Structure formats: structure tokens, C-alpha cells
Amino acid sequence: MHSFGYRANALLTFAITILAVICALASVSDNFNSPSPSSQVQVLNINWFRNKPDGDDEVSMTMNISADLQSLFTWNTKQVFVFLAAEYETPKNSLNQVSLWDGIIPAKEHAKFNIHTTNKYRFVDQGSNLRQRDFNLTLHWHVMPKTGKMFADKIVMTGFRLPQSYR
Amino acid sequence: MVVTVALMIWKGLMCITGSEAPIVVVLSGSMEPGFKRGDILFMHLSKDPIRVGEIVSFKIEGRAIPIVHRVIKVHEHQNTGELDVLTKGDNNYADDTVLYTRGQKWLKQHHITGRAFGFLPYVGWGTILITENPIIKYILIGAMGLLVITSKG
């Protein structure tokens, strides 16, 4: 009844239970954080705009991305994955989402940033529908916890338009 | 007893989450520093269309083990609602076109086996140790068998 094996087993079970409860509580505590992130993006220049030989449109642009995501961080946050996507509708597709840039924010101190960049991933359409196309730029973030549930949200910025002709 | 309970929990999770693999162990470093080798992810599979930024597990024809990567591109076809999805590992330099079957440019809805919603670190290390060192598995099974035989009930 009180052999070494039984005691070791009981102790291990108890320790794992406590650990699981603490992990669950840490994850639940994230729900009490009500973040207020902000973001602003400017398209500074259309570097080039072409129709690729396979028929798809492709554009390269320079952007200025600034955001303050500090309020997303809690004690249970490991990192925040942030990315900017172009979102638009075409006659062919009811929704197109194309990631243009992304970054990993490892700590709260780096969560307020202002960067000047060209699109890191290619902005290629399915087809040739980008001329004079209105699009949104949406800043998405994905909060990765130390343990538990992941959170995601976004800020949509509207009113961007691509040029009328290739250049 | 333990095996039965484990199987019940697994099948129960499959029913609730709708995913054929509700828990996956991260096997590579392609999603670092978010997910490391040995971390586990909880997956679900709902009917909602997949959107950019989600972390999904997908199966490629001819590969047994699903890959867990992030969606970086989505094209949803007008009328049919059919999806074309492109993925990439956070820690990889290039997107996943090279991992797909030759000539395959996009993932379709049916390739996707799960969508991640929860995370626990380190818990999957046991699985990795056992699969990569079969000897440990035999020692474990042997020890359990011995315990069963020698226990006085």
C-alpha cells in the first residue's frame, strides 16, 4: 500500500495535474487582456508593374508600415507573428489574399515599429486583373502563447488602388 | 486500462474537432521560433473557409506524415468557392511549392487535415524519442509487461 512505487506514482500524478492546471489557468488569463493595437500603412512607390509571360499580373511596391502592438503582449505570450496582406476581389475570385510582408515580434519592447520595405513575398494575381484594382491592406497578427490557446485578429486599411497601366 | 482510456480520448477528440489528427507533434524546426521540435498542437477542422495567416496541417500525395505550416496566400474562386492555398514555414526561406507534388502549385481544401488553435510545449518529446529510437519502445513495453506479471493485484 505504501511502497516506494505507489508513492512515486502518486507524486508524479499530482505534479502533472498541478502543471496542467497552471497551464490551463495561464491560457484562460489571456482572455482578461483587452488589447488596443493600432496600425498605419502607406504605399510610397509602385516600383514596377508587369504582366508575366504566363499571363499573371505582378506588382512590386515600396511601403511604410507602422504599428503599435504592445498591448497584445501578456505574461503568457511567447511571440507575435505579424503580417501584411493585400486583399481584393476580381471577376475570377471572390477573395484574394496575398501576404506581402511578415515579421516575428519576440518581445513587447519590439512591438512598436516603423519600417520601410518593399514586398517580401511576390504580389502575383491569379490572372491579369490588377490594373486599376482597388485593394485593402490588412495587418494580421497571430499571438502565439507560451501555453494554451492562440489568438488572431487584424486591422483592415482600405482605399488603395493599383495604377491603370503596366510600367 | 490506460490504453483504452487513451484510445477513447483520441476518438472523442476526433469527433469533437472533426479532424482526423486532433493532436500533432511538431517534428521539424520549420516553424521556429513559434513551434519547436517536440511541441504539440491541437487541431480542429471546421467547414469555414481557410484564410491567410492560419496554421494548417496538410498531406501531400506520396508523403505519409502531414506538414504543419502557415497559409500565406488564398484565392477563393467566384461561384464555386473552391480554394487555392499556398503555405510556408515561418522559419523557411521559400514557400512550400517545392514540397508539393511536382507540378502542383496550390493546396486544395481536401489536402488540409487540420487547423491549429492550441499549443503545449515539450509534451511531444516522448513520441519523438520513441519513434526515433525503437529500442526505447521495446524497453518500455517490456517493463510494462514485467510490471503486469509481477504485480500482486
In a domain, A166, yes or no: no
Phi, psi angle pair for A82, to nearest 5°: -120, 140
Answer yes or no: B69 catalytic.
yes
Of the residues B41, B71, B93, B119, the best mutation for testing chain A's interface (the one with the most A CB atoms within 10 Å of its CB) is B119
pLDDT tens sequence across A127-140: 999 999 999 999 99
Total number of domains constituting chain A:
2
Active site residue B30: yes
The answer to whether residue B20 scores a pLDDT higher than 80 is no
Q: Is B39 a catalytic residue?
A: no
Does B31 lie at the interface with A, CB-CB under 8 angstroms?
no
Which pLDDT score is estimated for B152? 62
- The pLDDT assigned to A49 comes to 94
The grid coordinates of residue A49 equal 508593374
Q: Does B120 touch chain A (CB under 8 A)?
A: yes
pLDDT, residue B127, reads 82
Whether the predicted pLDDT of A112 surpasses 90: yes
Q: Is the same domain home to A45 and A11?
A: no
Q: What is the pLDDT of residues B46-93, one digit of tens each?
A: 888 899 999 999 998 888 888 999 999 999 999 888 899 999 999 998
Whether A145 has its CB under 8 Å from any CB of chain B: the answer is: yes
Chain-chain contact of B52 with A85 (C-beta, under 8 angstroms): yes
Output the average pLDDT for chain A: 92
If asked whether residues A14 and A47 sit together in one domain, one would say no
Which residues of chain B make contact with A149, given a CB cutoff of 8 A?
117-119
A137 close to A157: Cβ distance less than 8 angstroms: yes
Q: Is A140 part of the contact surface with chain B (CB cutoff 8 Å)?
A: yes
A167 located within any domain: no
* DSSP codes, chain B: -HHHHHHHHHHHHHHHH--SSSEEE--SSTTTTTS-TT-EEEEE--SSPP-TT-EEEE--TT-SS-EEEEEEEEEEETTT--EEEEEE-TT-SS-GGGTSPTT---B-GGGEEEEEEEEESSTTHHHHHHHH-HHHHHHHHHHHHHHHHH---
Residue B25 has pLDDT above 80, yes or no: yes
Provide the ipTM.
Answer: 0.86
pLDDT of residue A1: 59
Whether residues A80 and A151 share a domain: the answer is yes
SS3 at position A71: helix
Domains of chain B: 2-122 (2.10.109.10), 124-153 (no CATH)
Residues A40, A27 share a domain:
no
Examine the domain organization and report whether A58 and A12 are in the same domain: no
- Residue range A37-96, pLDDT digits in tens: 999 999 999 999 999 999 899 999 999 999 999 999 999 999 999 999 999 999 999 999
Based on the fold, state whether residues A2 and A16 are members of the same structural domain. Answer: yes
pLDDT at A158 over 90: yes
Per-residue pLDDT at B2 exceeds 70:
no
Residues A25 and A102 grouped into a single domain? no
Q: Look at residue A148 and tell me if it is in a domain.
A: yes
One domain for residues A99 and A27: no
Identify the band that residue B153 occupies on the pLDDT scale cut at 50, 70 and 90.
low
Domain identity same for A148 and A67: yes
Asked if A26 is an interface residue toward chain B (Cβ–Cβ < 8 A), one would say no
CATH number for position A152: 2.60.40
Using a CB-CB distance cutoff of 8 angstroms, which residues of chain A are in contact with residue B34?
A: 78-79, 81, 104, 144
Range of the domain at A65: 35-161
